Amino acid sequence: MVKRTDASTGKIIDDGKTVEDPSVDENGRKLLKVKVYSPFHLYFDGPAYSITGVNRTGEFDVLPQHHNFITLLEPCELRIETQRETEPIKISGGVMHVRGDSVVVFLDV
């Protein structure tokens, strides 16, 4: 249900509409918002269950509700697990920024 505050009265109004939550799938499983791009190309932009990469300490996974962090990526194959398949993206390095349930990967920087 969508609730809003009426600007003139300050009362909370329930308009009876439901809004789909893009951060969960149809089974209630949490999703990440993942964007992987370089200055001239968008490789991936959409929801995912997880993303796997490699930094200097080794391979790691990012799942929903992960701690916020930033890391330099080593040459590897990023693996993005989506609702349909696993999307592999071969990279030569980059920067990954995780904040909340959002992951942004900057390549060729």
Q: How far apart are CA 50 and CA 86, in angstroms?
A: 9
Cα–Cα distances in angstroms (integers) from residue 6 to residues 3, 12, 14, in the given order: 10, 6, 10
In this predicted structure, what is the pLDDT of residue 18? 47
- Confidence label for 27 from pLDDT (cuts 50, 70 and 90): confident
Identify the weakest region by mean pLDDT among 9-13, 33-37, 69-73, 101-105: 9-13
Residue 36 near residue 89, CB atoms below 8 Å: yes
Taking the domain 22-107, which CATH number applies? 2.60.15.10
In this predicted structure, what is the pLDDT of residue 5? 65
Average pLDDT in the chain: 87
pLDDT (average), residues 91-98: 97
